[in-house]
């Protein structure tokens, strides 16, 4: 199997999909099938015949108004596209960047696998996407919760599918992610990278959209009794990185993830044996075994807040501890207040 082509920093990234194509494009015939077909009037209606009588679709057409021949052509196009994709994967005719991000695999496969959970299971509602810049670097800072970090993946799908400029979110992940077999390779392919200042700044200077969840394991591993109470945001390293790159900070609040695995206990002994930061005990896990790993189908809301500009500060501001503390506290308080507002408006956990 041939090696993939690596795009060095400094070159322009491969062209994005056309503007407006928020999801993998359907075949034209399939799109036509999804559009309502307006009733057409017979010629006798134009000459004073029976009013309001709609012409029935031709019997040769399919049940959805698309001829079988056109449906067959649509399937042929999908099959040809799939075979072309497989050929490129087998021959190595695809591109990855210096971090291992594989845009084609992410668009065609990974997002397609996550999208049913995003749309049908968690029914994610996105607000404030207009606050996410269309060009240039930006740092999205979000709360972290849920025992298993599904919130980061859903945030990635939200940006991928709903941003008008079809941007990709490059998430900063913990060391543990890159120590797990299979998971580490998929994380790299999806654009994730190590949560360190050096990698974050390289991506931001390149004009990428970077996502960080400063609570880390303290956020996703907190007990259910402390849900929606933000944990400490570290030492403000993300603020320093944003100041050095002079990019805006976009606060992001996620409601719904806290209840997917209600963590009522933590087996510290098992956690130490397995090398995990915590070993969760929920009402269904480990009592129900593998069935207990199925998350509860909660209703999610992702709210992007107004960006906090950093380009007005002097270059040496990144070394000012008091400024970093104040900006970190501002971001944290913004996310916390937005969480409270979203919780007040929420009708129920599942609807």
Residues 196 and 90 placed together within one structural domain of the fold:
no
Angle formed at CA 238 by CA 237 and CA 243, multiple of 5 degrees: 100
**Does the reported pTM lie above 0.85?**
no
Residues 86 and 120 placed together within one structural domain of the fold:
no
> What burial class does residue 182 get, using C-beta atoms within 10 Å of its C-beta: 0-12 exposed, 13-18 middle, 19+ buried?
exposed
Angle formed at CA 348 by CA 146 and CA 219, multiple of 5 degrees: 20
Q: Is residue 275 part of a domain?
A: no
Residues 210 and 229 placed together within one structural domain of the fold:
yes
| Nearest Cα to Cα of residue 218 among 168, 263, 260 | 263
Q: Is residue 270 part of a domain?
A: no
* Torsion of the alpha carbons at 166, 172, 176 and 180, rounded to the nearest 10: 20
Dihedral sign (CA 118, 260, 224, 180): negative
pLDDT of residue 246: 95
Q: Tens digit of pLDDT per residue, the chain (351 long)? A: 444 544 443 444 444 444 444 444 444 443 443 344 444 444 333 333 433 333 344 434 444 556 787 877 878 787 887 888 888 888 888 889 999 999 999 999 999 999 999 999 999 999 999 999 999 999 999 999 999 999 999 999 999 999 999 999 999 999 999 999 999 999 999 999 999 999 999 999 999 999 999 999 999 999 999 999 999 997 889 999 999 999 999 999 999 999 999 999 999 999 999 999 999 999 999 999 999 999 999 999 999 999 999 999 988 899 999 999 999 999 999 999 999 999 999 999 998
pLDDT of residue 204: 97
56 — phi, psi (to 5°)? -75, 145
- Please answer whether residues 157 and 254 qualify as being in contact, where contact means their C-beta atoms are separated by less than 8 angstroms: no
Q: Is residue 285 part of a domain?
A: no
Q: Can you give the CATH number for the domain in which 134 is found? A: 3.40.1130.10
Q: Is residue 350 part of a domain?
A: no
Q: Is residue 325 part of a domain?
A: yes
Overall number of domains in the chain: 2
Domain containing residue 121: 103-260+295-345
Residues 175 and 114 placed together within one structural domain of the fold:
yes
Neighbours of 65 (CB within 10 A): 14
Pairing state of beta strands 138-142 and 125-127? unpaired
How far apart (Å, rounded) are the C-alpha atoms in residues 231 and 201? 24
Largest CA distance in the chain: 85
Residues 86 and 169 placed together within one structural domain of the fold:
no
Residues 70 and 143 placed together within one structural domain of the fold:
no
Where b means 16+ CB within 10 Å and e means fewer, 259-270 reads bbbbbeebeeee
Residues 231 and 141 placed together within one structural domain of the fold:
yes
């Amino acid at each position: 199997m041939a090696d993939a082509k690596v795009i060095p920093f400094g070159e322009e990234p491969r062209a994005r999909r056309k503007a407006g194509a928020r999801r993998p494009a359907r075949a034209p015939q399939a799109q036509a099938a999804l559009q309502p077909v307006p009733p057409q009037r017979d010629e006798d209606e134009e000459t004073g015949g029976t009013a309001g009588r709609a012409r029935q679709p031709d019997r040769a057409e399919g049940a959805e108004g698309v001829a079988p021949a056109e449906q067959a052509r649509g399937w042929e196009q999908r099959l040809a596209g799939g075979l072309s994709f497989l050929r490129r994967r087998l021959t190595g005719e695809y591109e990855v960047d210096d971090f291992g991000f594989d845009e084609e695999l992410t668009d065609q496969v990974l997002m397609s696998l996550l999208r049913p959970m995003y749309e049908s299971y968690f029914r994610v509602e996105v607000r404030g996407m207009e606050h996410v810049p269309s060009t240039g670097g930006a740092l999205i800072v979000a709360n972290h919760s849920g025992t298993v970090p599904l919130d980061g993946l859903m945030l990635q799908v939200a940006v991928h599918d709903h941003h008008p400029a079809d941007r990709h979110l490059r998430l900063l992940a913990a060391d543990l992610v890159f120590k797990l077999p299979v998971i580490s390779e998929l994380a790299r392919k999806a654009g994730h990278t190590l949560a360190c200042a050096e990698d974050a700044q390289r991506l931001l200077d390149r004009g990428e959209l970077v996502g960080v969840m400063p609570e880390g394991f303290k956020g996703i591993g907190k007990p259910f009794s402390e849900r929606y109470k933000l944990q400490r945001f570290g030492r403000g390293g993300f603020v320093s990185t944003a100041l050095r790159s002079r990019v805006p900070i976009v606060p992001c609040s996620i409601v719904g993830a806290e209840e997917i695995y209600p963590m009522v206990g933590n087996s510290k002994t098992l956690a130490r044996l397995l090398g995990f930061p915590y070993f969760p005990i929920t009402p269904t896990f480990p009592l129900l075994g593998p069935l207990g790993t199925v998350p509860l189908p909660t209703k999610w809301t992702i709210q992007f807040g107004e960006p906090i500009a950093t380009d007005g500060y002097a270059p040496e501001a990144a070394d000012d501890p008091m400024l970093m503390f104040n900006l970190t506290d501002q971001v944290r308080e913004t996310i916390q207040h937005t969480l409270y507002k979203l919780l007040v408006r929420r009708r129920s956990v599942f609807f």
